[in-house]
Chains A and B, each alone.
Chain A
Amino acid sequence: MTKITLKVNGKTVSGDAPDETLLSVFLRENLRLTGTHVGCDTSQCGACVVHVDGKSVKSCSTLAVSLEGAEVTTIEGLANGGLHPMQVAFNDNHGLQCGFCTPGMIMTGVDMVNRYKTEGTELTSEAIRAELEGNICRCTGYHNIVKSIEDAAAKM
């Protein structure tokens, strides 16, 4: 057991967990932040994506103990009280059906838009599709997810 202290969604939190504890497990089981989902065991599906120090990370393949002192943002903490433009865009564009991949899609989408804006590169629909390489959705056929991210990018 190691005591792990992180800043999660703006609050400093700590918990005891075995060294092999994945960030996804620490978030879901220690902190009970169950909005971060686990959809595979090979780091392929992206349902578990969170932001660590502002960058998207697959929490299912990150050891919690390796992030001592890091700032973690999960889907629950993406917006303070209201809704982030990406969350609004997913609702406006019917970018979700069962909702299971949605937290990861939204966190990936936000990271993608931020990176392209910082780089000053246009985020085309082709670029969105390429950037979604690590996120699998089985419900939507991606059509409306791509539209949602395009829509949010214009508003962020």
Chain B
Amino acid sequence: MSTGIGDAVKRKEDKRFTTGKGKYTDDVRNDNQAYAAFVRSPHAHARVTGIDASAALAMDGVIDVLNGAQLTGDGIGNIICGWAVTSKDGSPMNMGAWSALATEKVRYVGDAVAVVIAETQALARIAAEAVEVSYEQLSVAASIAAAMEADAPEIHENAPGNLIYDWEIGDEAATDAGLAGAAHVTTLDVINNRLSPNPMEPRSAVATYDDSEEQYTLYTTSQNPHVARLVLSAFYNVAPEHKLRVIAPDVGGGFGAKIYIYPEEITCLWASMKTNRSVKWTSDRSEAFLTDAHGRDHVTTAKMGFDSSGKIVGFKVDTLANLGAYMSLFSSSVPTYLYAPLLSGQYNIDNIHCNVRAYYSNTVPVDAYRGAGRPEATYLVERMMETAAREMGMDPAELRRRNFIQSFPHATPVLMEYDAGDFPTILKMAQSSADVAGFPARRAEAAARGKLRGIGYSTFIEACGIAPSKAVGSLGCGIGLWESAEVRVNPVGSIEILTGSHSHGQGHETTFAQIVSDRFGLPIENVSIVHGDTDKVQFGMGTYGSRSGPVGMTAVVKAMDKVEAKVKKIAAHALEASEDDIVIEGGEVKVTGTDKSMAWHEVGLAAYIAHNLPEGMEPGLKETAFFDPVNFSFPSGAFICEVEVDPDTGHTEIVQFTSADDFGTIINPMVVEGQVHGGVAQGIGQAMLEHVIYDEAGQLLTGSYMDYTMPRAADLPFYDVSHHSTPSPNNPLGIKGCGEAGAIGAPPAVINAITDAIGSNDLEMPATPQAVWRAIQANSSPLAAE
């Protein structure tokens, strides 16, 4: 079976997962293992006036109880946000101090105040309950609206009015002028509901300090272990980088929540040094809901103007973003640079202006969750298009088509230069797969059964492959976003690929091996992928933003280019031929047009034996490359959702979900379709089921799977997935990235379908049966009765 680019190769990594042999962080247990349990604030906003750990310390098996004063006293630094966003008046963002263990104040329910280290996990938890913390409660702002009140409590002293930044992009005067001259203006208020990412593996850390070497080892559930090591070293002063090894072994899903460096990892490392024990902490699900960074939580008002032909003449957006109690690692970039530059969607719009104000609140920090900013932009743009089409009496697909960008590259008025795409074709594909022509008959048939049937579109674009280092640096990002790879050809010809990308479900052990198998014609079994260990891979930026394909794989290609060049030199010398005549095919290194050849492994052996290398050539066959992308990549797609609503109960069933995507070059269609399935499921979850709710006192009401509705098998349909590829010109493989498309495109398709079914646009996510039923009841439109 062929195992090259484009082949649906079955995953190499599956055997260990299907037989229970996967090695996740919580599976690690060291000889001197101790366990951490955190003492967490039950209040959303309070002054800490005292910590009495005497009862806990008196318990048999409790090793120590440590607090924030000790942590900061030992020089452990504050947690920082790594992307500096500047307000429109030129002032820097107002970043408040965040200590891994709170010192003077707690700012959300779950904020860690102290940590108990004990001989067993159960004992640590019991002892944590026995630590008595005295609090002086302060008034609470647990939502954007509350944080904006004139008499709102001050959450951080350096953020007056709880405002973190007031940022804008685009030309406001030109946009206002466009709207003033519009034949029709659609106004829309939307809320992008707050979500919890919920990877199935809870976060975990096992930190071990070796005092003989002054060396730390951290096993952790990370999407980017090198970034974790850099930040732990450079900002939190835990240990110098060369004395800190970070290993992210098998990681059970990430979806953004495992990008950030959290208080628990910092505390476990420090506690390991303090107690001279290996310290392990594993979150339970309730703790995950309280402390994993949440996603979304925007409130937006927008206006879009059209001329008499339906052409967009202006788009003005005003967004409020809730960033929670502290600024998490990339939190500032999500509602700004990962959001507003996508407001042009698939459309040719001359004038866009977006204003974003970000606020603190007494809730857990908010940061990137699958899609990160792009789902929020897409939800707004695609609900706007559907709503405008209904208001103007136009076919929503036709309105989109009239505004589609048709030529590439295309520069938008909001920073981006789109690389390649074919929006009319993917829309047509989706319409054909979804049998849009047959929809009126299906609607009539459903009506005969007393059901309301609706159809909704989402034609979306995303920016992936994050990102050109210089470009993001100019926008305030504190790191470069290149990727590294090392290709090691062993003397027997087998190949190890060391990559800075990390796989936590994406299947890199298979797909990265495919590009090597394809390039050199080697069996995929002869290629192994090494990742997730800072002692093995020198540096890398990790996996998020659908970047492992367009950026991570490209680094491998660049390193393979160098390997190929050396292989050709070695073979040309050994075969007494010109380097230009050497070709590599099917595991053979041949002189073209002759019968002279060497087997791949013979070249590998020659490189290491070094008896007969060209004059001056170094022995060995190992090459490294760092790839810094020249642009984002821009995957696009057309989703069509069809629903049936029971008007008596509001219960909504997705009866058909169609996806047509342009991911550029596809390495493994099976894996790519799996990414679409999972992304769409999370998008449907946002649209219909999921919602993080805090009450006014800042208590989390959705703190378990009994309260927060995760999509289950019976909630979801089979998905119809098809592809039409326009390769990205910005990387040699032409990859655009596929990890986030589903979560970005699905929510508006679902809501557009439900609002079509019930004949009312007054519906927010999640469209629970209760919400849909209420919308039906509130709606006096005759459409509802059709």
**Which residues of A are in contact with B by a Cβ distance under 8 Å?**
18, 20, 28-29, 32-42, 44-45, 47, 74-76, 78-79, 83, 87, 90-92, 94, 96-103, 106, 125, 128-130, 132-133, 135-146
Shortest C-beta distance, A128 to chain B (Å), equals: 7
Interface stretch among B172-180, B195-203, B205-213, B631-639?
B195-203
Q: Are A94 and B671 in contact (CB under 8 A)?
A: yes
Partner of A94, one of B198, B255, B670, B713: B670
Residues of B within 8 A of A (CB): 10-11, 13-24, 26-27, 29, 122, 198-202, 250-253, 255, 284-286, 504-507, 670-671, 673-674, 677-682, 704-706, 710-714, 716, 718-719, 742
A94 touches B719 (CB 8 A): no
Q: What's the minimum C-beta distance from A109 to chain B, rounded to whole angstroms?
A: 11
Q: Are the C-beta atoms of B681 and A44 separated by less than 8 Å?
A: no
- In the complex with contacts A97-B507, A141-B677, A141-B681, A34-B20 CB distance below 8 A: yes
Residue of B nearest to A92 (CB): B10
Task: Say yes or no: A34 contacts B14, CB within 8 Å.
Answer: no
Could you tell me the distance between the alpha carbons of A141 and B680 in the complex, rounded to whole angstroms? 7
A77: nearest chain-B partner, CB-CB: B20
A87 to B680 alpha-carbon distance, docked (Å): 25
Q: Which of B24, B122, B718 lies in contact with A100, CB distance below 8 A? A: B24
Q: In the complex, what's the smallest C-beta–C-beta distance from B469 to chain A, in angstroms?
A: 29
Neighbouring B residues of A140 by C-beta, 8 Å: 674, 677-678, 681
Given A35-B19, A75-B20, A91-B11: A100 and B671 within 8 A (CB)?
no
Interchain CA distance A139-B122 in the complex, whole Å: 30
Whether the Cβ atoms of B712 and A47 lie closer than 8 Å is: no
Contact in complex: B678, A42 (CB < 8 Å): no
The B contact surface, by secondary structure, is: loop
CA–CA, A61 and B498, complex, Å = 41
5 other A-B residue contacts (CB within 8 Å) besides A37-B200, A99-B17: A35-B21, A41-B284, A83-B19, A133-B713, A140-B674
Instruction: Find out whether the CB atom of B505 lies under 8 angstroms from the CB atom of A97.
Output: yes
> Roughly how many angstroms separate A71 CA and B497 CA in the complex, as a whole number?
43
| Residues of A contacting B251 in the complex (Cβ-Cβ under 8 angstroms) | 98
Would A132 and B678 be within 8 Å (CB), given that A36-B20, A99-B252, A138-B200 are in contact? no
Contact check, A76 vs B19: say whether CB atoms are below 8 A apart: yes
- CB-CB < 8 A to B704: which residues of A? 40-42, 44
The residues of B that contact A39 with a CB separation of less than 8 Å are 200-202, 252, 285
Residue of A nearest to B27 (CB): A34
Of all A-B residue pairs in the complex, the 6 with the closest CB atoms, nearest first, are A35-B20, A100-B252, A99-B17, A141-B681, A98-B505, A97-B505
Q: Which of A32, A41, A47, A96 contacts B14 (CB 8 A)?
A: A96
Contact check, B714 vs A136: say whether CB atoms are below 8 A apart. no
Which residues of B sit under 8 angstroms from A139, Cβ to Cβ?
Answer: 200, 253, 505, 674, 678
Interface-central residue, B200, B284, B716, by most chain A CB under 10 Å: B200
Decide yes or no: A136 and B705 within 8 Å by CB, A39-B201, A130-B714 being known contacts. Answer: yes
- Residue in A closest to B706 when the chains form the complex, CB atoms: A42
* B21/A40 in contact, CB under 8 A: no
Chain A residue nearest to B716 in the complex (CB): A142
Chain B's closest residue to A147 (CB) is: B718
Query: How many Å from the CB of B221 to the closest CB on chain A?
Result: 10
Q: Determine the distance from Cα of A156 to Cα of B671 in the docked complex, in whole angstroms.
A: 26
Q: Which of B200, B255, B674, B714 contacts A144 (CB 8 A)?
A: B674
Contacts known (A75-B19, A97-B507, A136-B712); A90 close to B201, Cβ less than 8 A: no
A-B contact pairs, 28 of them (CB 8 A): A29-B29, A33-B20, A34-B20, A35-B22, A37-B252, A39-B285, A41-B704, A42-B285, A42-B706, A44-B704, A75-B20, A76-B19, A78-B19, A83-B19, A91-B18, A97-B505, A97-B506, A100-B253, A102-B17, A130-B713, A133-B713, A136-B705, A136-B710, A141-B711, A141-B719, A141-B742, A142-B711, A144-B674
Measured between alpha carbons, how far is A102 from B250 in the docked complex, in Å?
13
**In the complex, A62 Cα to B596 Cα: how many Å?**
68
Please measure, in the bound complex, the distance between the C-alpha atom of A132 and the C-alpha atom of B682, giving whole angstroms. 17
| Residue numbers in A under 8 Å from B13 (CB-CB) | 99
Q: Is the CB of B253 within 8 A of A98?
A: yes
